[in-house]
Structure 1
Amino acid sequence: MLRIAMCDDETEAREALYLLLDQELHEESEQIVYEFSTGTAAANWLQKHPGEIDLLFLDVEMDGMNGMETAKKIRTFDQNLLIVFVTGFADYVFDGYSVGAMDYLMKPVCKEKLQALLTRVREKLGQEEAEEFIVKNTDGTYRFLKKEIRWFYSDKRKVMLVTDRGEYGFYAKLDEVEKQLKDGGEAGQFVRIHQRYLVNTKWVDQIGSASVQIGGEELPISRAYKEAAVKKLAEAMLGGMR
């Protein structure tokens, strides 16, 4: 799946890019999800919806917060979003490296260059898919890299996913999440320490006799899981998985 957003303060420019993209996207699995007319609106929305967009086409020359400023704001809370600058001036091209832009397209956008870009995007997302964990709830769809997840914990009928950006809840059982991670080849990275807690070994700072510490938070280790959990956590920490 490829979810795309565009940000350009010129309606005609957005419409032109939309029409080009519409011809190139795979109908069942790829879509243009959002359009923004200001950098401020794009950055604010993206901050509230982490992982919901894979690719952002961002105009450089915008009134108010320009494209480069918008990209810098986005990078303060999201290092994974693919950003492609759209510009009428080649002078801005090299500035894109400072914000980790994937590429740039010159206006008017060339169909062949857009096709080549989309091929690269699909290849990159395909490689990263196994490293992602997807959360779906009433607020939308969120994608997280497994390495950025600190821990999961159960809360009644929900499971809460914890990252440095906050907590995100979804309806599931922790056993189901653990199995999903195991099936995805991440069994060694996540360790069950309690009926309610599943932790990412890469974020564990300290192992105690009855708890582990992650970023200043203390999570309990239950008797039922202690022997296996402590062994796996110690192996992970000594093995340099951090």
Structure 2
Amino acid sequence: MLRIAICDDETAARDALRFQLEKIIDDETEEIVYEFSSGVNAEKWLRKYPGQIDLLFLDVEMNGMNGMETAEKIRAFDENLLIVFVTGYQDYVFDGYRVGALDYVMKPVGVQRLREVYDRVKHILKERMQKTFIVKNSDGVYRFQYDDIFYFYSDRRLVNLVTVRGIYPFYEKLDVLEEKLGNSFVRIHQRYLVNGKKVLHIGRTSLDILGQDRQLQTLPISRALKETASTKLARMMLADG
């Protein structure tokens, strides 16, 4: 499923790009989900709903907060969103690399050029989906790359996913998650399942790990799981080093 957004302060430009995109979208699960008329609106919405959009076509020459400034703000909380700049001036092309833009298209956008970008995006997302975790709760559907996840902890019937962007509760059992997520995640306690890549220090009865807002947090290691968990985590830390 590919979810696309367009951000341009000109209605005619948004309509033109949508029209061209609709010519190449041939899968019912792929759609243009949102349109934004300003960089401010796009940044606020994307911050509130992380993982809802896969691809953003972002106009560079917008009034107020331009496309480059918008991209810089988005990158402060989302490193994974695929951004393609839309511009009428060749001069802006190379500036996109400093905000991790995937590509750019020139106005007026042609179908052939758009298809090239579209195929590239689908290839990237296909690879990403192999390490993507989907959360469904009462607020909506969120998608996270494994590298964005710090740890999971259970609280009664709920499991909470902890990321740099916040905490996302959903209904599941840690046992099921442990089996589903594989070797990258290690069970350290009846209530905690951690991303081994985010562990900074292993102690006798606890460990230090990155948490929300990248703040250091200390989590307990249960006596029953200490030997197995410590061995797995130590191997992962040595491999990364």
Q: What TM-score, normalized by structure 1, do the two folds share?
A: 0.93
Structure 2 residue identity aligned to 1:150: F
Q: How far did 1:73 drift? A: 0.8
Find the aligned partners of 1:88 and 1:238 in 2 and give their Cα distance. Answer: 49
User: For residues 92-120 of structure 1, what are the alpha-carbon distances to aligned partners after superposition, in whole Å with 9 as ceiling and x for unaligned?
Assistant: 11111111111111111100001111000
Q: Which structure 2 residue ranges, 5 or more long, are not aligned?
A: 211-215
2:26 aligned with 1:26 = yes
Q: Which residue of 2 aligns with 1:149?
A: 149
Q: How far did 1:140 drift? A: 2.1
Find the aligned partners of 2:26 and 2:176 in 1 and give their Cα distance. Answer: 31
Find the aligned partners of 1:63 and 1:27 in 2 and give their Cα distance. Answer: 34
User: For residues 20-40 of structure 1, what are the alpha-carbon distances to aligned partners after superposition, in whole Å with 9 as ceiling and x for unaligned?
Assistant: 112211332211111100000
Runs of 4+ in 1 over 3 A off after TM superposition: none
Structure 2 residue identity aligned to 1:197: Y
Query: What are the residue-to-residue correspondences of 1:154-169 with 2, within 5 Å?
Result: 154-169=154-169
Structure 1 residue identity aligned to 2:116: A
Find the aligned partners of 2:235 and 2:93 in 1 and give their Cα distance. Answer: 45
User: For residues 58-108 of structure 1, what are the alpha-carbon distances to aligned partners after superposition, in whole Å with 9 as ceiling and x for unaligned?
Assistant: 011111111111011111111111100111111111111111111111111
Q: Which residue of 1 aligns with 2:113?
A: 113
Q: Which residue of 2 aligns with 1:85?
A: 85
Q: Which residue of 2 aligns with 1:207?
A: 202
Find the aligned partners of 1:104 and 1:205 in 2 and give their Cα distance. Answer: 38
After superposition, the CA RMSD in angstroms is 1.3
DSSP-derived class of the 1:53 partner: coil
Moved more, 152-161 or 22-31: 22-31
Candidates 192, 203, 215, aligned match of 1:197: 192
Find the aligned partners of 2:57 and 2:138 in 1 and give their Cα distance. Answer: 26
Structure 2 residue identity aligned to 1:178: E
Find the aligned partners of 2:133 and 2:75 in 1 and give their Cα distance. Answer: 20
DSSP-derived class of the 2:28 partner: coil
Q: Which residue of 1 aligns with 2:3?
A: 3
- Paired-residue identity, %: 61
Q: Which residue of 2 aligns with 1:13?
A: 13
